[in-house]
């Protein structure tokens, strides 16, 4: 595609982060921005697409529209898909896969609709070139996306390849790590202006700390990642990609005043967090200690807590309610003048916090309904 040609894109995200994602897209110069459910559509050129992949913190994938049509049967879906000049998107030696999202009474079996799409692409190549690219579900060169709503079909190509939550720094995981996109979104939804301290007292593998540091320091979210889907596009512009990277990297400023601190009660997780923090190049900017939050205090400072306490169903509810109550008590006693955001999927346990929320937001962690609750501690 030529640099100035305008394309239609869809950025996918978590339910509850659509507005933040739209504002990020506005900042990189995208146009025709429209928020949907777990997605934001926009227009832009190739540079916008490269920037969206590298600089947007709250997108899971950036899909580029190939075509849109109506199909009232699986034959129509097959025929209209085969009519696309797939040569523009997939090389004969590439592998490909089909991702699907189907809400339709006509195309009831989403797996069958995906199969018809796969057959149409394969048959396009066999009929034109007597050879066809093969399917690879785990690690395809090209990811094709099929979206059907009723009889309306949109076929797109995934410009990100691997989902954008794969930032490249997380080599080790705790038991319940927070998705990086969700962690970044939570920090962006918070009020982090003019703080001295940023603290995640139950930091697990360190995701919130790393995403927050990257936001405060203007480090692009995909800073360490080497591979994107668009690198394999036939019109991949290496010079343009380097320019996009250089321009974004120029804005990095690690010389910030905010002190970024984490603690966790589990020494193994402290090790994991430190490993990930090193991997992200932030070893000199984030401090992590092995501590029980319930024995800490940090008064007379201007600080912000964002944390994701355990909400595991495997923990007995009486224990989890007690942990939430004691966490609330610790904040009340030891963190005067701080603000705290608690992100949890245990809607019952948060009721035991014992502090009056000043703000509540509904978010979804995949299928789990969660809350981001703000407490102002006086």
CB of 97 to ligand SAM, least distance (A): 28
Q: Which tokens hold the place of 86? A: 């797939």
Residue 365: enclosing H or E segment and its boundaries? strand 357-365
The smaller minimum CB distance to ligand SAM, of residues 64 and 308, is found at: 308
CB of 268 to ligand SAM, least distance (A): 9
The smaller minimum CB distance to ligand SAM, of residues 76 and 329, is found at: 329
CB of 88 to ligand SAM, least distance (A): 40
E strands, 104-244, in order: 134-135, 142-149, 152-158, 197-200
- Residue choice 244, 269, 270, 342 for contact with ligand SAM (CB under 6 A): 269
Establish if 262 lies at the interface with ligand SAM (CB under 6 A): no
The smaller minimum CB distance to ligand SAM, of residues 198 and 293, is found at: 293
Identify whether the C-beta of residue 209 lies closer than 8 Å to the C-beta of residue 183.
Answer: no
The smaller minimum CB distance to ligand SAM, of residues 277 and 377, is found at: 277
Distance from first CA to last CA of the chain, Å, rounded?
56
> Which residue's Cβ lies closest to ligand SAM?
204
- Show the CA angle centred on residue 166, arms to residues 163 and 171, nearest 5°: 150
Per-residue buried b or exposed e for 363-376, using 16+ beta carbons within 10 Å of the residue's own CB: bebeeeebbbbbbe
- Residue choice 47, 158, 211, 264 for contact with ligand SAM (CB under 6 A): 264
344: Cβ contacts below 8 Å, ≥ 6 apart: 308, 309, 311, 324, 350, 370, 371, 373
Q: What distance in Å separates the CA atoms of residue 335 and residue 338, rounded to the nearest whole number?
A: 6
Closest CA to 242 of 254, 231, 253: 231
Establish if 75 lies at the interface with ligand SAM (CB under 6 A): no
The smaller minimum CB distance to ligand SAM, of residues 221 and 310, is found at: 310
Residues 173 to 232 in contact with ligand SAM, rule: CB under 6 A: 174, 176-178, 201-202, 204-205, 207-208
DSSP 50-99: HHHHHH-SS-SEEEEEEEEEE-SSHHHHHHHHHTS-GGGT--TT-EEEEE
> Which stretches within 143-258 are classed as H helix?
180-189, 207-216, 238-249
Residue window 295-314: x/- pattern of binding to ligand SAM, with contact defined by CB under 6 A: -------------xxx----
Identify whether the C-beta of residue 153 lies closer than 8 Å to the C-beta of residue 147.
Answer: yes
The smaller minimum CB distance to ligand SAM, of residues 123 and 168, is found at: 168
CB of 91 to ligand SAM, least distance (A): 38
The smaller minimum CB distance to ligand SAM, of residues 154 and 207, is found at: 207
Establish if 329 lies at the interface with ligand SAM (CB under 6 A): no
DSSP 175: S
The smaller minimum CB distance to ligand SAM, of residues 148 and 269, is found at: 269
Q: What distance in Å separates the CA atoms of residue 166 and residue 371, rounded to the nearest whole number?
A: 24
Which range touches ligand SAM (CB under 6 A), out of 59-67, 171-179, 188-196, 239-247? Answer: 171-179
- Residue choice 50, 198, 293, 298 for contact with ligand SAM (CB under 6 A): 293
Establish if 321 lies at the interface with ligand SAM (CB under 6 A): no
Residue window 134-163: x/- pattern of binding to ligand SAM, with contact defined by CB under 6 A: ------------------------------
CB of 182 to ligand SAM, least distance (A): 9
Q: What distance in Å separates the CA atoms of residue 17 and residue 15, rounded to the nearest whole number?
A: 6
Establish if 16 lies at the interface with ligand SAM (CB under 6 A): no
Number of residues that bind ligand SAM (CB under 6 A): 21
Which range touches ligand SAM (CB under 6 A), out of 99-107, 108-116, 257-265, 370-378? Answer: 257-265
DSSP reduced 3-state for 273: helix
Establish if 345 lies at the interface with ligand SAM (CB under 6 A): no
- The residue ranges that bind ligand SAM (CB under 6 A) are 174, 176-178, 201-202, 204-205, 207-208, 263-266, 269, 292-294, 308-310
């Amino acid at each position: 595609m030529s640099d100035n040609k305008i394309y239609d894109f869809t950025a996918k995200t978590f339910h509850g982060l659509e507005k933040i994602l739209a504002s990020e897209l506005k900042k990189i110069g995208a146009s025709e921005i429209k928020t949907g459910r777990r997605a934001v559509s926009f227009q832009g050129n190739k540079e916008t697409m490269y920037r969206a992949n590298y600089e947007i913190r709250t997108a899971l994938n950036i899909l580029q529209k190939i075509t849109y049509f109506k199909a009232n049967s699986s034959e129509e879906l097959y025929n209209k898909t085969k009519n696309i000049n797939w040569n523009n998107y997939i090389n004969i030696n590439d592998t490909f896969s089909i991702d699907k999202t189907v809400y339709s009474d006509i195309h009831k079996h989403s797996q069958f609709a995906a199969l018809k799409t796969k057959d149409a692409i394969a048959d396009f190549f066999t009929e034109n070139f007597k050879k066809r690219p093969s399917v690879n579900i785990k690690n395809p060169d090209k990811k094709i996306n099929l979206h059907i709503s009723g009889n309306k079909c949109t076929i797109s190509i995934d410009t990100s390849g691997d989902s954008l939550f794969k930032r490249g720094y997380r080599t080790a995981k705790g038991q319940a790590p927070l998705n990086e996109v969700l962690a970044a979104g939570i920090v962006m939804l918070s009020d982090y202006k003019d703080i001295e301290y940023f603290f995640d007292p139950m930091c697990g593998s360190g995701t919130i700390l790393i995403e927050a540091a990257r936001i405060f320091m203007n480090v692009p979210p995909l800073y360490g990642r080497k591979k994107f889907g668009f690198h394999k596009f036939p019109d991949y512009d290496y010079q343009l990609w380097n320019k996009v990277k250089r321009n974004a990297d120029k804005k990095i400023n690690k010389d910030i005043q905010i002190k970024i601190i984490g603690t966790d009660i589990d020494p193994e997780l402290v090790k994991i967090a430190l490993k990930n923090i090193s991997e992200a190049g932030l070893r000199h900017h984030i401090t992590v200690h092995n501590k029980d939050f319930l024995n800490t205090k940090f008064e007379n400072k201007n600080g912000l807590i964002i944390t994701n306490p355990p909400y595991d169903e495997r923990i007995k509810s009486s224990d989890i309610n007690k942990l939430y109550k004691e966490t609330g008590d610790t904040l009340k006693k030891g963190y005067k003048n701080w603000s705290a955001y608690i992100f949890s999927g245990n809607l019952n346990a948060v009721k035991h916090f014992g502090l009056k929320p000043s703000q509540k937001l509904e978010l979804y962690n995949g299928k789990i309904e969660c809350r981001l609750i703000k407490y102002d501690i006086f």
